């Protein structure tokens, strides 16, 4: 038992790495390999760039033959960089909107009576009990020209002509904000709920009004929650496919749709893999830079 | 039984509460606070004077913290009025009161450096930057934390945090400083040192201090006057020595130190003394200026250090009771003997260990005489 203990201890440390290795790194290596292959009319539709059977020497020959034409192709067609840019833009706007709605929601939950909080928390999670796809479909019924929203607004007399929301970027924003709101609310709630209420009392005691105390105490202390929530919304939103294809119009450019079309319509696996690799780099590099600056800031204060 | 007394209080002639027509600085007038059906503060009236170091003492849940939070503005008053320097505080929000509070948890802002924490209150008032810097520097010197200005709160020890919290609450030079169990998180040695520092600081700054504590020694060390509270009411308000020597009830006597109580009945008067008969038939005498009706149920009360213990029957046999040593607690400076009297009651006697260990010390199961001079006892009626 004692002899086993260090091994067990080490295993518990390595287990998450093993998990990442199998379920993240390995698929990623395969996608990278695909992205440097040549497309072909075959089954599967590409010529493998690296044949595992070639042996070490053969692998070197293979690597020398890697084709980067798929990547250069992405720079030649404006569609791709426009899609990337538009994806980031849509995701950014949606994230800000989600934060604007999610923060007051989480704040309200955290300041609700203690007995009420579990119920409120459950209400936030409740939508997950229905399929994501069905919920997005439901928004078509609400947003379309003769949909519930337009009918309601016409009945109220706010508008005289039905609004065109469906198949515009607005519909995509609404869809993303709605779908990802819980991912914003949950980390914010977790942060705000554990903030010490004595801090606000201390601020008031030192002559700080409620509004001012929020901006000087609550907001800066909730920064980790804001960052976590924004990451959880922004990252999946950039690559979102279902919402733009169901709610968005033909003018809604998002990289998830481009990737899907490349893969299933054009059957160009190598190019779609290259699109995916660039997307990953696009997301991972800023996150890593951000984390490094965080670590440095923490070291400086220490 | 240690009974620490602040030496300054003994020779200081500061007792505005005795002065005729002195204006109170803080006044609670028939204040009641209810939470639903629970009454935290019950029709309480209290006057506190300028430059006083006032302690609210009581067990948890007695309403002492609620009373303090009313002054800070964190609790509203259900009934009655609170006045500060003649102004009714009812409609003054916390951030407009000339009162600062040091919180039990310190409540330091974790994302700000020590300097920024101390400067926080000054910044809210829109003080000029150079002036803020000067004041912060002064405060750091005052609490001996000059080297720690740039640190964040989580890089400080408990004692250092306590100092920063104190500096922050003093930075605005409030008229009244509230201290909510300020030393509760410190270890015993540090707590004792800090108590004396608080007293010095209060005398130096001339600010009225109000401290909430459940530690009787702490209250006696720092305070000019103590209010003992129970169930939302004040049981007694008095300077430490008076409260210890002349408690007005068994509750106060027991809360401040240790007390032996023997249930008795008044039977007669003689030369400034009241004669009692204990329920078990013993005759007892107490010297007192007060008058008591005859045949009234009362308690003969005496502090352990006022009892003496001996093997032989004392020559003066007044207030002498026979019994068996039941238990002994050797505390270093004193030894506490718990004696079971022949009447079945237990009493505690504290004996000062003034000489280095005698061989002939009284030990377990010995028959002893416990005696108490009539001046060393009091009569309690409630």
A212 with A255, same domain? yes
A154 with A235, same domain? yes
A28 with A170, same domain? no
The verdict on B105 touching A (C-beta cutoff 8 Å) is yes
Residues from chain B that touch A221, judged by Cβ atoms under 8 A, are 110-111
Position A36 scores a pLDDT of 87
Tell me phi and psi for residue B309, to 5 degrees. -125, 135
Q: Which of B95, B152, B169 sits opposite A204 (nearest CB)?
A: B95
Instruction: Give B238 to chain A, closest Cα distance, Å.
Output: 29
A81 with A225, same domain? yes
Position B6 scores a pLDDT of 43
The residue-averaged pLDDT of A242-260 equals 89
ipTM above 0.85, yes or no: no
Contact A206 B120 (CB under 8 A): yes
Task: Report the alpha-carbon distance of residue B300 to residue A98 in Å, rounded.
Answer: 73
CA distances from A261 to A32, A272, A275, A279 (A): 19, 9, 11, 15
**Who wins on pLDDT, A300 or A97?**
A97
Does the residue A11 lie in any domain?
no
Adjacent-strand bridge partners of B266: B276
The per-residue pLDDT for range A12-63, each reduced to its tens digit, is: 888 888 998 899 889 999 899 888 888 888 778 888 777 777 777 777 777 7
Q: Which of A8, A42, A67 is the last residue of a domain?
A: A67
Residues from chain B that touch A212, judged by Cβ atoms under 8 A, are 124
* Confidence category of residue B117, pLDDT binned at 50, 70, 90: very high
A213 with A296, same domain? yes
Instruction: Give A209 to chain B, closest Cα distance, Å.
Output: 6
A158 with A277, same domain? yes
Asked if A226 and A188 count as a contact pair (C-beta separation under 8 A), the reply is yes
Does the residue A158 lie in any domain?
yes
The verdict on A198 touching B (C-beta cutoff 8 Å) is yes
Asked if A243 and A177 count as a contact pair (C-beta separation under 8 A), the reply is no
Does the residue A121 lie in any domain?
yes
Residues from chain B that touch A208, judged by Cβ atoms under 8 A, are 95, 120-121, 124
Tell me phi and psi for residue A193, to 5 degrees. -65, -35
The residue-averaged pLDDT of B225-254 equals 92
**Who wins on pLDDT, A216 or B320?**
A216
Task: Report the alpha-carbon distance of residue B256 to residue B5 in Å, rounded.
Answer: 13
A174 with A54, same domain? no
A48 with A131, same domain? no
Q: Which of A196, A199, A206 sits opposite B124 (nearest CB)?
A: A206
Q: Which of A35, A67, A99 is the last residue of a domain?
A: A67
Contact B124 A199 (CB under 8 A): no
The verdict on A201 touching B (C-beta cutoff 8 Å) is yes
Position B292 scores a pLDDT of 83
CATH code for position A89: 1.10.3720.10
Contact B120 A208 (CB under 8 A): yes
The verdict on A118 touching B (C-beta cutoff 8 Å) is no
* Confidence category of residue B253, pLDDT binned at 50, 70, 90: very high
Does the residue A9 lie in any domain?
no
Per the listing, tokens 């939103």 go with A237
Task: Report the alpha-carbon distance of residue B181 to residue A198 in Å, rounded.
Answer: 14
> Best mutation site among A113, A198, A204, A206 for testing chain B: the one with the most B CBs within 10 Å?
A206
Q: Which of B72, B110, B111 sits opposite A205 (nearest CB)?
A: B72
Q: Lowest-confidence range among A39-53, B159-173, B293-307, B312-326? A: A39-53
Q: Which of A196, A209, A216 sits opposite B105 (nearest CB)?
A: A196
pLDDT mean across residues, chain A? 89
The per-residue pLDDT for range B25-62, each reduced to its tens digit, is: 999 999 999 998 999 999 999 999 999 999 999 998 89
Does the residue A12 lie in any domain?
no
Strands of B346-352's sheet, edge to edge?
B307-310, B367-372, B320-330, B334-341, B346-352
The verdict on B72 touching A (C-beta cutoff 8 Å) is yes
Does the residue A13 lie in any domain?
no
Asked if B326 and B344 count as a contact pair (C-beta separation under 8 A), the reply is no
Asked if A75 and A298 count as a contact pair (C-beta separation under 8 A), the reply is no
Q: Which of A48, A67, A86 is the last residue of a domain?
A: A67
Q: Lowest-confidence range among A265-269, A281-285, B2-6? A: B2-6
The verdict on A207 touching B (C-beta cutoff 8 Å) is yes
* Confidence category of residue B267, pLDDT binned at 50, 70, 90: confident
Q: Lowest-confidence range among A288-292, B113-117, B152-156, B356-360? A: B356-360
A134 with A48, same domain? no
A183 with A245, same domain? yes
Per the listing, tokens 């997307």 go with A279
Q: Is B226 helix (H, G, I), strand (E, B) or coil?
A: strand
Residue B190 pLDDT > 90: no
The verdict on B152 touching A (C-beta cutoff 8 Å) is yes
Task: Report the alpha-carbon distance of residue A155 to residue A153 in Å, rounded.
Answer: 5
Instruction: Give B277 to chain A, closest Cα distance, Å.
Output: 55
A164 with A50, same domain? no
The residue-averaged pLDDT of A248-261 equals 88
The per-residue pLDDT for range A181-225, each reduced to its tens digit, is: 999 999 999 999 999 999 999 999 999 999 999 999 999 999 989
Contact B95 A220 (CB under 8 A): no
Domains observed in chain B: 16-254 (3.40.50.300), 258-380 (2.40.50.140)
The verdict on A220 touching B (C-beta cutoff 8 Å) is yes
The count of domains in chain A is 2
Position B5 scores a pLDDT of 40
Does the residue A183 lie in any domain?
yes
Residue B298 pLDDT > 50: yes
pLDDT mean across residues, chain B? 88
The per-residue pLDDT for range A79-130, each reduced to its tens digit, is: 899 999 999 999 999 999 999 999 999 999 999 999 999 999 999 999 889 9
Chain A nearest-CA residue for B104? A198
A287 with A149, same domain? yes
Residues from chain A that touch B121, judged by Cβ atoms under 8 A, are 206-208
First vs last C-alpha separation in chain B: 24
Q: Percent of chain A, pLDDT > 90?
A: 49
Contact A205 B94 (CB under 8 A): yes
Range of the domain at A37: 23-67
Q: Lowest-confidence range among A7-21, A213-227, B146-160, B322-336? A: A7-21
Does the residue A86 lie in any domain?
yes
Q: Which of A207, A217, A220 sits opposite B95 (nearest CB)?
A: A207
């Amino acid at each position: 038992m004692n002899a086993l203990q260090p091994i067990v201890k080490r295993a518990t440390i390595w287990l998450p790495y093993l998990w990442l290795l199998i379920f993240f790194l390995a698929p990623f290596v395969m996608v990278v390999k695909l992205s440097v292959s040549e497309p072909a009319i075959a089954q599967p539709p590409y010529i493998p760039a690296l044949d595992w059977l070639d042996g070490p020497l053969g692998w070197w020959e293979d690597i020398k033959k890697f084709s980067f034409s798929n990547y250069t192709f992405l720079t030649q067609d404006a569609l791709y960089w426009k899609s990337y840019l538009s994806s980031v833009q849509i995701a950014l706007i949606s994230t800000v909107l989600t934060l604007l709605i999610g923060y007051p929601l989480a704040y309200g939950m955290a300041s609700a009576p203690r007995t009420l909080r579990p119920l409120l928390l459950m209400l936030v999670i409740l939508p997950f009990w229905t399929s994501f796809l069905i919920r997005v479909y439901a928004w078509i019924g609400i947003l379309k020209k003769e949909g519930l929203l337009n009918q309601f607004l016409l009945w109220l007399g706010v508008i005289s002509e039905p609004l065109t929301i469906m198949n515009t970027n607005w519909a995509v924003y609404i869809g993303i904000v709605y779908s990802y709101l819980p991912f914003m609310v949950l980390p914010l709630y977790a942060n705000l709920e554990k903030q010490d209420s004595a801090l606000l009392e201390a601020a008031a005691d030192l002559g700080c009004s409620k509004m001012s105390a929020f901006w000087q105490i609550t907001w800066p202390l909730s920064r980790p929650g804001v960052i976590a929530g924004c990451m959880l919304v922004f990252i999946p939103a950039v690559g979102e496919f279902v919402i733009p294809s169901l709610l968005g119009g033909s003018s809604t450019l998002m990289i998830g749709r481009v990737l899907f079309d490349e893969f299933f319509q054009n059957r160009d696996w190598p190019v779609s893999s290259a699109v995916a690799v660039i997307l990953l780099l696009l997301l991972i590099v800023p996150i890593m830079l951000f984390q490094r600056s965080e670590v440095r800031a923490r070291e400086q204060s220490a | 039984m240690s009974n620490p007394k602040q030496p300054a209080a003994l020779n200081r002639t500061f007792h505005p509460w005795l002065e005729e027509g002195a204006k109170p600085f803080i006044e609670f007038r028939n204040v009641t606070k209810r939470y639903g059906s629970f009454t935290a503060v019950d029709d309480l009236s209290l006057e506190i004077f300028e430059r006083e170091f006032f302690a609210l003492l009581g067990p948890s849940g007695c309403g002492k913290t609620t009373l303090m939070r009313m002054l800070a503005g964190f609790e509203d008053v259900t009934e009655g009025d609170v006045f500060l320097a003649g102004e009714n505080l009812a409609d003054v929000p916390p951030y407009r009161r000339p009162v600062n509070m040091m919180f039990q948890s310190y409540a330091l802002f974790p994302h700000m450096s020590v300097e920024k924490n101390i400067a926080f209150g000054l910044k809210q008032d829109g003080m000029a930057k150079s002036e803020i810097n000067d004041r912060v520097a002064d405060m750091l010197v005052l609490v001996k934390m000059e080297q720690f200005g740039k640190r964040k709160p989580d890089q400080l020890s408990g004692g250092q945090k306590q100092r920063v919290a104190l500096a922050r609450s003093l930075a605005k030079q409030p008229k009244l400083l509230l201290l909510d169990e300020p030393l509760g998180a410190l270890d015993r040695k540090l707590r004792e040192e800090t108590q004396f520092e608080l007293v010095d600081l209060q005398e130096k700054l001339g600010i009225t201090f109000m401290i909430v504590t459940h530690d009787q020694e702490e209250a006696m060390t720092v305070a000019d006057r103590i209010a003992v509270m129970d169930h939302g009411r004040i049981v007694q308000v008095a300077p430490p020595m008076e409260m210890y020597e002349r408690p007005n009830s068994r509750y106060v006597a027991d809360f401040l130190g240790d007390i032996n109580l023997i249930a008795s009945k008044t039977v007669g008067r003689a030369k400034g003394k009241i004669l009692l008969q204990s329920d078990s038939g013993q005759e007892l005498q107490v010297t007192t200026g007060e008058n008591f009706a005859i045949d009234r149920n009362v308690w003969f009360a005496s502090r352990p250090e006022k009892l003496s213990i001996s093997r032989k029957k004392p020559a003066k046999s007044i207030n002498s009771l026979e019994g068996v040593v039941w238990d002994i607690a050797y505390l270093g400076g004193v030894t506490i003997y718990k004696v079971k009297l022949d009447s079945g009651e237990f009493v505690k006697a504290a004996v000062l260990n003034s000489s280095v260990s005698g061989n002939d010390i009284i030990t377990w199961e010995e028959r002893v005489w416990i005696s108490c001079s009539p001046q060393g006892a009091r009569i309690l009626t409630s």
